[in-house]
Amino acid sequence: MEQVSLTRVAGSQGWDRPVSPVTKELARDPLGPFPLQRGQRATVAVFGVVAVVVAVLVLAGAPEGVVRWLKTPPIAALFVLALIARPRTPTQVLLTAALLFSTLGDAFLVGFVALPGGAGRLAGIGTFAVAYLVLVATFWRGRPRRVEARPALGYAAVALVLCVVIWPFLPGAMVIPVVVFAVIIVLMGWTTVSTVFRGAFPARVAVWVATGGALIFANDAMVALHMFHPAFDPPPAVTEAFIRSTYLAGWVLMLLVVQLRPPVRPVPAAGQPSRLV
């Protein structure tokens, strides 16, 4: 069982400024997050190849009918692998649910599940929003720390700029969904990066989750430009390749948490019972 201790230093208002336990762990063992278990190594190898193949096909101008079969199916495969891993803890069960909703969202947006008019776009955005709210429920542990302000504000600033850029081109029916989605994805990014600062997860899990959340956020920012900004219609091959590779990489990192054996226990706050990841 891996354990992480939370060290606090005195701040201007008392003992309320944490020293990141993940930073301390990485200082002792910089390669700590990277030695993977056998199943995890196979996942990274296989889906690394898939990501490269998809990117090459997109950059080479392969027909959309070919490329689309390498878009949604790999995410569906991640969900199946999560089921095969037999999630044992609340965190792993919730992550598996998030993978399911992400698969459905991609199926709506890519067109595997056809809906009339603009309903497919709305369904895709809504289903992804549910997936990200599940990620928030999965990784929100403890009280926010002041050290989290910079990354949280960074995510918020990027989302705000993005909304300003696409705002003139949003159809009326999409204004409220896009604003709500922007709030949700900022909350998701903040929640995933908070795992680095709150000491609730071992370093390897926190690094996987924070990096995965950043990749998913970057992916959705580019997707928003593709969906609503005329400069990205038709989408440039480079940005399309970026979307597919970051999307897959972000969710592969989340799957690593589901595949982790044995499940690890976060160190509880004082007076709180230990909980399984």
Give residue 151's pLDDT.
94
Give residue 35's pLDDT.
76
Q: How far apart are CA 130 and CA 181, in angstroms?
A: 10
CA quadruple 65, 222, 255, 53: dihedral, nearest 10:
40
Residues in the chain: 277
Q: What is the pTM of this model?
A: 0.83
In b/e form, how buried is each residue of 204-237, taking b as 16+ CB within 10 angstroms?
bbbbbbbbbbbbbbbbbbbbbbbbbbeebeebee
The DSSP secondary structure of 58-97, one letter per residue, reads HHTT--HHHHGGGTHHHHHHHHHHHHHT---SHHHHHHHH
List the pLDDT tens digit at each of the 277 positions of the chain: 333 333 333 233 322 344 566 666 555 655 556 678 888 999 999 999 999 998 999 999 888 778 778 778 899 999 999 999 999 899 999 999 999 999 999 888 887 777 877 788 889 999 999 999 999 999 998 888 899 999 999 999 999 999 999 999 999 888 999 999 999 999 999 999 999 998 888 888 999 999 999 999 999 999 999 999 999 888 889 999 999 899 999 999 999 999 998 765 555 554 444 445 6
Give residue 24's pLDDT.
62
Are the CB atoms for 155 and 163 separated by under 8 Å?
A: no
Q: Is 11 helix (H, G, I), strand (E, B) or coil?
A: strand
Question: In Å, how far from its chain's centre is CA 258?
Answer: 14
Give residue 67's pLDDT.
78
Q: What is the tens place of the pLDDT at every residue in 185-216?
A: 999 999 999 999 988 888 889 999 999 999 99
